[in-house]
Amino acid sequence: KEINNNWYYLRDDGIMATQWEKVNDYWYYFGSNGAMQKDWKEINNNWYYLRDDGIMATQWEKVNNYWYYFGSNGAMQKDWKEINNNWYYLRDDGIMTTQWNKINDYWYYFNDDGKMINNQYIDGWRIDNNGVAHYEKAFRNPKLENSNQIIVVTTNNMSTSYCNIEIYEKNDSGEWNNIDSTTGRVGANGLAYIENRVQSTNTTPAGVMSITGAFGVKNNPGTKLDYIKVNNNMYWDLNSENSTYNRLINYNPGGDYEHLISYPRQYEYSLITDYNHNQVPNKGGAIFVHCLGRGATGGCVSMPREKMIEILKWIDPKKNPKILVIPKDDLDDYWY
């Protein structure tokens, strides 16, 4: 019954309803004067929300652009709540949490729909199975996603030939561990991004490359990679017009090439990358990771001999090893 813009409910016996009343399977609340209540209502230390039609809210309800959750009895919920196999956190004021929230000294992340996430990386935080965030570096570039071993080579700028080298491996829990570091050299003219690099410019390709094998003047030091023991007949063909361009061959091709055994110090031990594996003319090739020589390289990455041996023993082809070469100011494009 609507009287003076207020709604009242008169029971079958004619008595005016006050307090809670169930009508057609919905609960309503009526004041002591019998007027149907709307909006928020605190009753016996619990908060309820009565919609514009007076119906008591249950489950999810959006109020003033915030989401709340109400139990089957209509009471506003707080704290942790598991709903349909997803976890939500409802603040002390009942508002559903989104994005970052610190709860009992631990950080959690909730999507815009309020669902707690787990087993992901968010903004440099590893979110474990329980949703707890742990800060650590995480590679985020798609070219690195499937790798569990990464050699990170950084320079102060694009033109320097000096670099820092860090070795990372992902453990069984998905955490990246920095297991070693050293210094080294790159091309005499610094770096050039892979898509822009030109042959014979003494630049090291900047970007992501896979490590596909190893070779050396000396015997295999114990690497799991396919290892080639260099002999006097081995050349790396750098003639763009040849079908063997950027490939190891067993004869002198003439023209532009590297006679590997002629560099016994640098090529004592080396890793092979997949740079220009598709043999694009004039992009160059023979991009390796090798032992330090007397200075900058022609485009390879070099490091101390003892570190080179350690990396050869560490690297595992089953872990899809890769190398990232990048100026440090651009490193954020590849990891958090």
Can you give the pLDDT at residue 8?
A: 86
Can you give the pLDDT at residue 57?
A: 95
Can you give the pLDDT at residue 138?
A: 63
The reply to whether 197 and 279 lie within a common domain is yes
The reply to whether 216 and 115 lie within a common domain is no
- Nearest by Cα to 304 from 171, 164, 204, 205: 164
pLDDT > 60? residue 245: yes
pLDDT per residue as tens digits for the range 279-306: 999 999 999 999 999 999 999 999 999 9
Question: Rounded to whole angstroms, how far apart are CA atoms 285 and 260?
Answer: 13
pLDDT > 80? residue 253: yes
- Which residue, chain included where needed, has tokens 């003076």? 4
The reply to whether 131 and 146 lie within a common domain is no
Share of the chain above pLDDT 90, in %: 78
Can you give the pLDDT at residue 172?
A: 82
The reply to whether 17 and 39 lie within a common domain is yes
pLDDT > 90? residue 142: no
pLDDT per residue as tens digits for the range 10-53: 888 888 888 888 999 999 999 888 888 899 999 999 999 999 89
Can you give the pLDDT at residue 12?
A: 80
Average pLDDT over residues 305-322: 98
The reply to whether 232 and 89 lie within a common domain is no
The reply to whether 327 and 192 lie within a common domain is yes
**pTM to 2 decimal places:** 0.65
Given 19, 44, 70, which residue is the final one in a domain? 70
The reply to whether 51 and 102 lie within a common domain is no
pLDDT per residue as tens digits for the range 61-107: 999 999 999 999 999 999 999 999 999 999 999 999 999 999 999 99
What's the number of domains the chain is made of? 3
- Mean pLDDT, the chain, rounded, equals 93
- Angle at CA 243, nearest 5°, toward 248 and 198? 80
Can you give the pLDDT at residue 137?
A: 62
The reply to whether 291 and 228 lie within a common domain is yes
Yes or no: say if 283 and 198 are a contact pair by the CB < 8 Å rule: yes
Average pLDDT over residues 173-197: 93
Given 70, 94, 124, which residue is the final one in a domain? 70
Can you give the pLDDT at residue 140?
A: 67
Look up residue 128 and give its two tokens: 């474990």
Share of the chain above pLDDT 70, in %: 97
Report the chain's terminal Cα–Cα distance, integer Å: 62
The reply to whether 66 and 90 lie within a common domain is no
The reply to whether 107 and 211 lie within a common domain is no
Given 44, 70, 96, which residue is the final one in a domain? 70
The reply to whether 246 and 309 lie within a common domain is yes
Look up residue 224 and give its two tokens: 């799991």
The reply to whether 47 and 117 lie within a common domain is no
Can you give the pLDDT at residue 177?
A: 86
Can you give the pLDDT at residue 176?
A: 83
The residues with which 287 forms a beta bridge, in sequence order, are none
Print the domain residue range for 98: 79-135
Can you give the pLDDT at residue 295?
A: 97
Can you give the pLDDT at residue 264?
A: 98
Q: Is the pLDDT higher at 160 or at 13?
A: 160
CATH of the domain at 44: 2.10.270.10
